[in-house]
Structure 1
Amino acid sequence: MTEADSTFVPLADQPAFLLGQLGAYTGGRFGELLAPLGIGPRHFGMLRVLREHDGQTQQQLCETLGIHRNVMVGLVDELAKRRLVERRRHPTDRRAHAVYLLPAADDVLGRAQAAVTALDGELFAGLDAEERATLLGLLQRTAASNGLRPGIHPGLTHERVRPC
């Protein structure tokens, strides 16, 4: 064993590794829970934003989410194909289209939110309420100190539209 070998910390003792491991697991598990609803995590994120910003133009949604317009067009196309959203001419700007949730989106969002709650329960079953609150605060602070926008997954900002 060399001196360099003795300085290696086990991966299970490295926070960055553990966060990556949990992130990969959580992302996969979340995708599994959403699959029966016909959406993926990226769709869920977009639907959540639309719930708060229904009727915004695609450009406004790009700015809200901090994503490239090509990503926006792809996500809206996929959600429109599933009849969860529709584009309509903007009432005051005839060059723009506004995006609106359709009634079917309410059911999908409700069921997807239930899946999020169930996943939180699964992931943190070993923690009591105080520990969960402490962990949540630490994660929020860490995300903020790394410049991450609250409630916006950085995977949405990728310029290439990946399958959900």
Structure 2
Amino acid sequence: MDLQLQVLPEDTAVDDTTLQIGELAGLLGYSLKRAQLRVFDDFMRCMAPLQLTPAQFSVLLLLDNNPGRNQTEIANTLGILRPNFVAMLDALESRGLCTRMRSPNDRRSHVLMLTDKGRATLVRAKKLVTAKHEARLIEVLGPANHTALLGMLATIARDF
């Protein structure tokens, strides 16, 4: 028997397979997490041909916009823990998408660069994200709500 999670009005009759989530429906953190899961699922379907996760795509974007920055800066900007980031870089490097080099200024750190293959993959990924993933989000929300939601999320990230 499959259990389904559904948000139902309080006066709706439910059968034994439907979980009532009660107060969770009114909690922003819960709603954000549920939305994130749906958004990430769609992102993964769009990126299936390139086998990129949201985090890997974010790393490639940052490396493209900030060539030669060290791995600590990139990891901190994305909120990725060091051990997880090292493993992700290992995977990206093994695919030939980026390289790590000792920093000329600080031999304890590594600077990161996209490879030509990484840049080409990023070009394809950006097209998929724009044409499919973000287009679907804009279709679901509408352009004004999409813009407003981005603004609200930026406020939370900055001020909370």
TM-score for the superposition, normalised by structure 2: 0.70
1: CA distance between counterparts of 2:70 and 2:141?
Answer: 42
Higher RCO (CA-CA < 8 Å; seq separation 6+): 1
Partner AA of 2:107 in structure 1: R
2: CA distance between counterparts of 1:73 and 1:26?
Answer: 25
Cα deviation code 1:59-96 (max 9, x no counterpart): 33334434332122111101001100111232233343
Deviates more, 1:11-20 or 1:62-71: 11-20
Counterpart of 1:42 (choices 55, 58, 83) is 55
Cα deviation code 1:103-138 (max 9, x no counterpart): 111121122222222212112214443333333323
Q: Are 1:89 and 1:97, in contact at CA under 8 Å, matched by a contact in 2?
A: yes
2: CA distance between counterparts of 1:63 and 1:138?
Answer: 22
Deviates more, 1:132-141 or 1:112-121: 132-141
Q: Structure 2 regions of 5+ residues with no counterpart?
A: 1-9, 12-19
Change (3 A) 1:129 1:48: same
Question: Which runs of structure 1 show a deviation greater than 6 angstroms over 4 or more consecutive aligned residues?
Answer: 8-13
Name the structure 1 match of 2:119.
Answer: 106
State how 1:9-158 maps to structure 2 within 5 Å. Answer: 14=26, 16=28, 17-117=30-130, 118-146=132-160
Partner AA of 2:60 in structure 1: L
CA-atom RMSD, angstroms? 2.9
Q: Percent identity?
A: 29
Q: Structure 1 regions of 5+ residues with no counterpart?
A: 147-164
